[in-house]
Amino acid sequence: MKNNQIGAVHVGEKIYVIETNPAKSTVFNTEMSPQDMIEYCGLVPKFATEGGKTFRENLDDNYVYGTNWSSEATVDENYVYHYPQDEPLVPIITIRDLDSDDQVIMYPYGITAVRDNGKWVTSRLD
Q: Collapsing DSSP states into helix, strand and coil, what is residue 48?
A: helix
pLDDT of residue 34: 84
- What average pLDDT does the segment 103-125 reach? 93
CA angle 5, 102, 63 (to 5 degrees): 90
State residue 67's pLDDT score. Answer: 92
pLDDT of 107 above 60: yes
Range list of β-strands (E), the chain: 5-11, 14-20, 74-75, 81-82, 93-97, 103-106, 111-116, 119-124
Query: Within a 10 A sphere around the Cβ of 10, how many other Cβ atoms?
Result: 9
As a whole number of angstroms, the distance between CA 73 and CA 19 comes to 22
Better pLDDT: 4 or 68: 68
CA 88, CA 79: separation in Å to the nearest integer? Answer: 10
pLDDT tops 90 at residue 59: yes
Residues present in the chain in total: 126
Confidence (pTM): 0.91
Q: What is the pLDDT of residues 18-27, one digit of tens each?
A: 999 898 888 8
Whose CA is closest to 52, among 10, 106, 13, 98?
Answer: 13
Residue 100's pLDDT is 87
